[in-house]
Structure formats: C-alpha cells, structure tokens
Structure 1
Amino acid sequence: MNTHQTNFVRTSMLTQSAPPVLEKGYIAWIRKNLLATPKDAVLTILAILLLAWLLPPMIKWLFIDASWTGGGRGVCATAAQGGSQPEGWSGACWAFVSAKFDVFLFGRYPIDERWRPMLVGALFVALLVPILIPKVPYKGLNAILLFGVLPILSFFILIGGVLGLPYVETPLWGGLMVTLILSFVGIAVSLPFGIVLALGRQSKMPVIRMISTIFIEIVRGIPLITVLFMASVMLPLFLPQGMTVDKFLRALIGVSFFASAYMAEVVRGGLQAIPKGQGEGADSLGLSYWQKMRLIILPQALKLVIPGIVNTFIGLFKDTSLVSIIGMFDLLGIVRQNFSDANWASPVTPLSGLVFAGFTFWLFCFGMSRYSGFMERKLDKGHKR
C-alpha cells in the first residue's frame, strides 16, 4: 500500500458559511409553528380568516363606537349609525362602568369609610409582591405577616367597632372586595388544610384515614351551592338559641372547606407520584415522620402538582360568584344588581357590565396561570433544557 496517497484527507479548512436565512428570525418561526405541514397551513389560514371576520366588529363595538363619558341612559341608547343595528347596540357603554366603578369595587360599603378597604388592599399588595419574587429574603416572616397577621388586622379594619372606627356590617360589603377576600381566605386555608387531609388519607392510622376520607368524599360529592346554602340556612338551626354567626363568615368557612377537599386530592396525587425509595431513604437516615414529609416528600410532591394547585385556586376564584345565592354580592353579583338602575336602563348596559366583569376575572386568573408557569420553570431542576 502506498502510504503517500492521502488525497482523501483535506489539507485546509472550509471557510465559515452564514446560517441559512430561513432558519432564523420571524420567517423561521412562522415556517416551524404555522406552516410546518399542509394541515398546519390550512388551519393557520382558517384562523386568520376567522380573526379577520371577528376582530373588526369587536374593536368597533369595544372602542370606536363606545360611549366613554356622560351620565344617564341617554349616553348608552344612541342608535347605530346607518340604522343597521337595533337601537342601543351601536357600541359598548363604558360610561356605565365608569359611573359605577366604585360600587363595583366596594359594593355598598360607606363612601366615607372606603379608605379602609383601600388600606387593606395596599397592605395586601405590599406583602404579596415580595413573597412572589424569589430573590427577596425573609420569606418565612413575609408569609407569617401575609397569611397570619394580615387577615386578623384586615378583619378589625374592615368591620370596625374598635379604635374609634365605625362599625360596618358585612351585608354592606360587596364587589371586587368580597371576591378577593373570599378567594384569598379560601386559598390561604385550603392549601395547608388540604395537605393535612391528603396526609390523613394516606395515614396508617385507621381512624385518621377514615375521617379524612369521609370528609373528602362527602364535600367533593356535593356542589358548592349546596355547601353555601347549608352554611347560610341550615347551620343556624343547629346553633344554640340566641347564638348567631355572621353570614359572611359562614360563606368563608363553606368556601374554604369546599376548596380544601379538592386540594387534598391534588396533593394526594403528588404524594403518590413520589417514588417509594424517597421515603425509605429518609427512614434510613433516622428522620421522623414529620421531618420526612417536611424536608423530603412534600417539597417534591407540591412541585409536581403546581398546575393542579393553581387550577384549584383559579376555580375557587371564579366560584366566589355563587355567594350571591346567600345574599352576598361579589363582583359579578354587584354588576348584575346595578342593571336594574333606572338611570342606566339600556339594552347595551348589561352586556358592557358583563364584559367588564369577565375581563376582570380573566385578568386575575391569567395572572395566576402565568405565575404558576414561571414557578414551574424555576423549580424544574431535574430536567435542564
């Protein structure tokens, strides 16, 4: 063999070539996500045609032809241009929303005392934002203040009767304030109580396991409306004569217990997903049951079920609208109640109010969903991308 025949070996490197134009930028994204296959291309075209058909009239109704200022139903009863639509449907009546905005936020809470729910809201935001930012220190103290101190302090500020604050009965509460209070208390109670119920259902002690299972199955087997009805109408019948419990407090307890049962099943799914070797390894280290759960099992289980936990929170936030059945008016309830105002009687007023309420609910639910996605990506240490 002739060892000098090395024609198949390159003696110089090729010059570096620029990447293909169609493999980067917006064109590459469109080709990959919208036009990857003929079916994707057809669906993309149909989606564009649907948006072209829906968006122009929606934008026209929501913004261009909408009534933004003014007072009274005359503002919202303008006939459509050209007469092609029924009277009152020319555009949204945001003047109604603007005029009733304070009522939508606070319900019938006394006007001179509305600084109190505003103060509670400011304290809530001031404590919530640091606990949502991972790099902010003192998370333990922050959590104690947010979930322990703030609810008690807020109760005395909102209801009054102490420190010279006038007493404001809970039937006067309403609007977004009631929605946020019910959902926050429900979330703050349902997560720890749900964890306890999930651990109880997996307990080796028959009595604890039976009590937890019965509670979960009974509560999950009845609708929330029934729970609220029982808390509002039936519960006072079982109390000693002369003893009463505030209706709003009964609603808080009913909503919290209802959410706890669903949260328990979500957490139990995470516990079952943890390999048995994790618990056995903790036992071999001599950890107690609660040390094993607190340090080993629960952190992994809760991380796995973040989507289910947030889904329960979102469902709870939307289910607060059902408290209208017991005479409490949340955001949606107070919006619907104001449809009967004769000064704003117009065919377009109800739709405008419902759009405002729906957008507000969507805004909060979307925020929770996006933050849960952020936490999933941050805690996903086992699968590096």
Structure 2
Amino acid sequence: MSTEMSSAPPSGTASRAYVRAAAAQVLPPPVATSGLIGWLRTNLFSSPGNTLLTLLALLIAFWIIPGFVRFLITDAVWSGADREACVAKGGVLPGACWAFVKDRLAYFIYGAYPVESRWRADLFFLLGALGIGWLLWLNAPRRDLGLVYFLVVLPLAVYGLLSGRNPLAFLAYPYDLVTGRSVILGLVFAALLFLAGFLVARSEGVRAGRAALFGLAALVILTAAGLAFERLWGAIGLAPVDTARWGGLMVTLVVAGVGIVASLPLGILLALGRRSKLPVIKFFSVLFIEFVRGVPLITVLFMANTMLPLFLPDDITVDKLLRALVGIALFASAYMAEVVRAGLQALPKGQYEGAMAVGLGYWQMMRLIILPQALKVTIPNIVNTYIGLFKDTSLLLIVGIFDFLKAIETARIDPQWAAPTVSATGYAFAAIVYFIFCYGMASYARATERRLSKADKR
C-alpha cells in the first residue's frame, strides 16, 4: 500500500502531463500544394478541361515558337553593310535581317530630323523619361511638382526643343490688344488666360468677385512673363526645324504623349458635362461624344488634315502635325469621357450626399471625393484606352505624317537593302517596339491596381 502510494504522481501533476512544454515542429506544406508542383496543379492541371487546354496550348506553342526563334535569332543576320548580307546563299534563305535594322536605327528614331540637331531629340527623350519616372515612382519626392512638370513644363520644353520656336509665344498674344497687330487673336487669348485664372480660384472656393480679380492678375502676370521670355528665347538662338522634318519614333512618342496627357482632363470635363443638370452643357457634351465615337479615327485624321484648311481664311495655316495632334486628342477624349462616366456611375449616391453634407462645393466635391474614387475604379479601362491610342498613332502614315511605322515603310523599299526578309524584319522590329511600350503600360497598371485594392480586401 505504501509503495503504491509513493509511486502515485504528486497532486496536480496529472493534468499537466498532456500540456506541451515546447512549440511543435513546423512541418513543410505538402509538396502537391506548394512550390512549382502546387502552382502547376492549381493553375494548369486543376481539372480535366483545364488539363486539356494546357496540353493544347503547349502543342500550339511547340509548333509556332521554334519558327520564330529560328527566324528572329538562330538564322538571323546580325551584321552587314547592304543587301548582300541578307540574300539567299546556297539556296538557303537566311532569317531576320537585323543588319538592316542596325543600319537604319537612327532613321527609325529621328526620321529626317537634322543630324546636327539630334541632341535636342535626345534631350527630349531624357526629359520625357524623367517626367514619367517622377510620376510613376511612388516614393519620389514632391510628386505634385512632378505632375506640374509632366503636364505643363515638359510639353512646353519639348515644343521649344524640337521646333526651335518660343514655346511661350502664345502668352504674349494679349499684348496684341495694345499694339493692334491682331486684335481678335489677342482678345481670344486674353479671355482664355482670364478664364483659366478665374476657374482655378473658384475651384479653391474663392468668391466670384475675388476670383475675377485673380483672373485679371493672372492675365497681366502671364502676359508680362511671355514678353520677357520672348526676348530670352531670342538670345538662346535655336535653329527652327519644321515639323515636316520630324519623324520616326520621336513623332510617335510626341503624338501618343499629347493624346494621353490631353485625353484624360478633356474626358473628365466631357463626362461631367454629360452628367450635368444644365441642358445646354449636357446637349453639347452628348453631341460631341456620340459624334466622335460614331466615326473611325482615320476619318477624324482626314478631316483634320484635309477638310480643316478649307474652313480657315487664306492667310491662316495650321501645321499638319498640330492638326493631327488635335484630332487624336479630341478622338481619345470622347472615349475617355465614357470611361470616366462609368466610374462616376459606379460610385454609390452616399458618396455625393456625404460630400455635400460636410459643405463641399461642386468642384471641391469632385476633386477631393468623387473623381479619385471614380478614376481608381476605371484604371483598367483608362489604360486600355491609352494602349489603343498608342497603337492608333500608326494611322498617321495614311495622312502623310512621318511616324515610326512610316519610317520603317520608307526604309524597307531602299534599293540598298532590297532583300527578301527585310520587310518582315522591319515589321517584326515595329511589333517588338509597340509591344514593349504597351506591355509596360499594362504591367504598371496591374501593379497600381494591386496597390490600390488592398483597402478593399477582407
């Protein structure tokens, strides 16, 4: 009895016999649900139908990809001075003639832009890359200044660099009211400068009387700045380069950049106008959007290039490239307006009521509450419109503007490079360039969506 009693566990220790004193060893997840095997089972072989589609896709890839690899890489000609490097030898036709692309690369980028002035085009590429990087880098300092640089400073600097003309000459037009050189033009630009200052002040909640004084001050200050900069620009002395000599990838990026930058603000104004309660504004917004969306882009370009000069006085001429820029910007803005309108309609009515309940005016409500949410919802559609606009710049060659594709079209018929694979190589190079730009926009948009959607996840 005493032995049995002595061997019994002390009081209170029996309940602790099943409590683990140390953490259990962490076991790796099953091989079938993690790593490469898990990803393959989840995404490619999750069901019999998915497995069949995966195998079919692999068969198509094995049928197509080797031919592209042979033509573009293994059988390609990488060096040579003329067509002799890319003609058939021994009855065997070579692959892509990359020697042709290498020889004409500068022509593809600059077109007929003067060789001695190409440093200005290089500076344009550098300034554009700086502006895009400033905006897209999420941790960049003072991104608000980056937006001003990209939307205001960069377009003016690019125009001044590439054309060699004063980019702020339009600010001196109100001075024509005093000199009498062009009273109508001076009145138009004076009204625009005054209206811009007035609207900026009103958007900040300034009363109408003070906003009018702010608009008048903006008119005087900007006109004086334009006159001062006109003298400074004359001292710089850049040689003018007519837009007819612009060409290549440079023109494609200029046209796409102007269309992308101008289409979003114009589209926002048109979308707000279409939802306006004022009948006149709503009517003209709907009329413009539906008319532009009802005709193809090539028709708009032909109208801007051929028909517009017929409606202008004989002493007024508009540059061909400028006509195309305006046509593309207006065309893209009509589609962008519908994209923005979809985002506005997707927001619940409570957002509008809450903004009005705290005393915000219409423009403050739109700027601070409504538009940020609406644009967030429509990011995929906005980027899709941008990608379509970038590719649609290839239609410029039809109206005689020397864009990137037009440069390739002209170079491929050069007798110096009259070889069987030169045309296919030129088009392949164009496809690669367009794909790089479009895929870059799409990739950044997906990353932005993931970042902004974190707050919506549960």
Instruction: Give the partner amino acid of 2:112.
Output: R
SS of equivalent to 1:244: coil
Residue 153 of structure 2 is aligned with which of 125, 149, 152?
149
Q: Does 2:213 align with 1:209?
A: no
Q: Does 2:279 align with 1:269?
A: no
Partner of 1:282: 355
Instruction: Give the partner amino acid of 2:257.
Output: F
Instruction: Give the partner amino acid of 1:308.
Output: N
Partner of 1:306: 379
Residue 361 of structure 1 is aligned with which of 398, 410, 434?
434
SS of equivalent to 1:74: helix
TM-score (norm 2): 0.78
Partner of 1:351: 424
Where in structure 2 are the equivalents of 1:114-263 lying within 5 Å? 114-161=118-165, 163-263=236-336
Instruction: Give the partner amino acid of 1:281.
Output: G
Contact 2:260 2:329 in 1 (8 A): yes
- Separation in structure 2 between the aligned mates of residue 267 and residue 307 of structure 1, nearest angstrom: 11
Shift of 1:20: 1.9
- Separation in structure 2 between the aligned mates of residue 294 and residue 26 of structure 1, nearest angstrom: 46
Q: Deviations over 1:150-171 (max 9, x none)?
A: 1111111111155222221111
- Separation in structure 2 between the aligned mates of residue 181 and residue 15 of structure 1, nearest angstrom: 63
Shift of 1:17: 6.8
Aligned-residue sequence identity (percent) comes to 51
Deviates most, 53-62 or 229-238: 53-62
- Separation in structure 1 between the aligned mates of residue 152 and residue 338 of structure 2, nearest angstrom: 25
Partner of 2:216: none
**Number of aligned positions between the proteins:** 371
Partner of 1:63: 73
Shift of 1:178: 0.6
Shift of 1:50: 2.1
- Separation in structure 2 between the aligned mates of residue 20 and residue 308 of structure 1, nearest angstrom: 40
Residue 445 of structure 2 is aligned with which of 333, 355, 372?
372
**Structure 1 unaligned runs (5+)?**
1-9
Partner of 1:109: 113
Shift of 1:49: 2.2
Instruction: Give the partner amino acid of 1:176.
Output: L
Shift of 1:35: 1.3
Deviates most, 57-66 or 213-222: 57-66
Shift of 1:383: 2.0
Q: Deviations over 1:292-322 (max 9, x none)?
A: 1111110100000000000000010000011
Shift of 1:12: 5.7
- Separation in structure 2 between the aligned mates of residue 31 and residue 241 of structure 1, nearest angstrom: 71
Residue 39 of structure 1 is aligned with which of 45, 49, 69?
49
Contact 2:267 2:340 in 1 (8 A): yes
Shift of 1:384: 2.3
- Separation in structure 2 between the aligned mates of residue 15 and residue 307 of structure 1, nearest angstrom: 46
Partner of 2:59: 49
Deviates most, 265-274 or 276-285: 276-285
Shift of 1:36: 1.1
Instruction: Give the partner amino acid of 1:216.
Output: I
Instruction: Give the partner amino acid of 2:118.
Output: R
Q: Deviations over 1:347-379 (max 9, x none)?
A: 100000000001100000000000001111111
SS of equivalent to 2:95: coil
Instruction: Give the partner amino acid of 2:153.
Output: V
Where in structure 2 are the equivalents of 1:86-105 lying within 5 Å? 89-105=93-109
Instruction: Give the partner amino acid of 2:35.
Output: G
Find the structure with the greater CA-based Rg.
2
**Structure 2 unaligned runs (5+)?**
1-16, 166-233
Q: Deviations over 1:273-297 (max 9, x none)?
A: 0001110111111110111111111
SS of equivalent to 1:100: helix
Shift of 1:381: 3.9
Deviates most, 42-51 or 344-353: 42-51
Residue 73 of structure 1 is aligned with which of 69, 83, 86?
83
Partner of 2:40: 30
SS of equivalent to 1:367: helix
Shift of 1:195: 0.2
- Separation in structure 2 between the aligned mates of residue 172 and residue 15 of structure 1, nearest angstrom: 74
Instruction: Give the partner amino acid of 1:52.
Output: F
Where in structure 2 are the equivalents of 1:13-28 lying within 5 Å? 16=25, 18=27, 19-28=29-38
Partner of 1:4: none
Partner of 1:6: none
Deviates most, 371-380 or 47-56: 47-56
Contact 2:77 2:94 in 1 (8 A): no
- Separation in structure 1 between the aligned mates of residue 261 and residue 52 of structure 2, nearest angstrom: 46
SS of equivalent to 2:84: coil
Deviates most, 51-60 or 302-311: 51-60
Contact 2:88 2:94 in 1 (8 A): yes
CA RMSD of superposed structures (Å): 1.7
Shift of 1:15: 5.8
